[in-house]
Amino acid sequence: MILSTLERNIESFFSGGASTVSDVDALDTFLELRNALEAGTLRAAEPDATAPTGWRVNAWVKRGILLGFRIGALTEMSGGGALNFLDKATYPARSFTPEDGVRIVPGGSSVRSGAHVARGVVMMPPAYINVGAYVDEGTMVDSHALVGSCAQIGRRVHLSAGAQIGGVLEPVNASPVIIEDDVLVGGNTGVYEGTIVRRGAVLAAGTILTRGTPVYDLVNATTLKATPATPLIIPERAVVVPGSRAVPAGYGRQMNLSVYTPVIVKYRDEKTDLSTTLEDLLR
């Protein structure tokens, strides 16, 4: 079944509402979608040079993921050993073999079915990759890191300990978080609400990025913000650190208060690259 036919079937079953719950054909269509997501031949969002952000959201794929929740019955599952959990039957935990080329260190990590995890990915415990996510080759998902639903993670990305990459399923046309190739995401960093982090950027530990967060670019003397049509976009090779700005009026000024804001302090150069070569030794 070619993708255009799969798309038509997903749209048909999704619009069918509760009547699709016991439909065998709906289940077969969903399983085809889920298998394509795991193989990486289908994505919730994909690069598109003609799109304003360089990425195209495939809303019908997210509708297919939501269809899986609708038609799946809650059931008890086992991931082997002492791992037991309750979830929709359509979304068991994924299992891997040595031939997949993925290294999952023991200690409580899990990948939900419908997520693509490419060869050379390393997961340190405990970490979690949710449905619809795409994690490309050579990426490190460190301890307590989350890759949320439909998040797109590029090649050779390092998600440091405690990094939270937000997910999105609804609204279905909303852009997921996108982390492009060679990005270093520091510990306890949060990237949410469709933010795009361009290739080679560095997010220092503790940086938080959302649609409502302005980012002050000290190098170019500009302020980066999301718009109604586009998410917050961090430029290529930008080095972003947590900062603050003074409250300019009222009680905040009286009390000498400041609020959090991310700040671009420089753009990545050879010295910055040398400081990240340690990551290669950990793979």
CA distance 260 to 189: 13
Can you give the C-alpha Rg of the chain in angstroms?
A: 20
CA distance 90 to 66: 11
Q: What is the pLDDT of residue 275?
A: 59
pLDDT digit string, tens, across residues 224-281: 999 999 999 999 999 999 999 999 999 999 999 999 999 999 999 877 665 555 455 4
Residues of the chain where predicted confidence (pLDDT) is lower than 50: 1, 278, 281-282
**pTM of the prediction?**
0.93
pLDDT digit string, tens, across residues 70-92: 999 999 987 655 667 899 999 99
Which domains does the chain show, CATH number per domain? 3-71 (1.10.166.10), 93-269 (2.160.10.10)
Q: What is the pLDDT of residue 152?
A: 98
Cross-strand pairs, 140: 122, 158
CA distance 256 to 245: 11
223 burial class (0-12, 13-18, 19+ CB within 10 angstroms)?
A: exposed
SS3 content of the chain, % helix, strand, coil (to 5): 25, 30, 50
Q: What is the pLDDT of residue 282?
A: 45
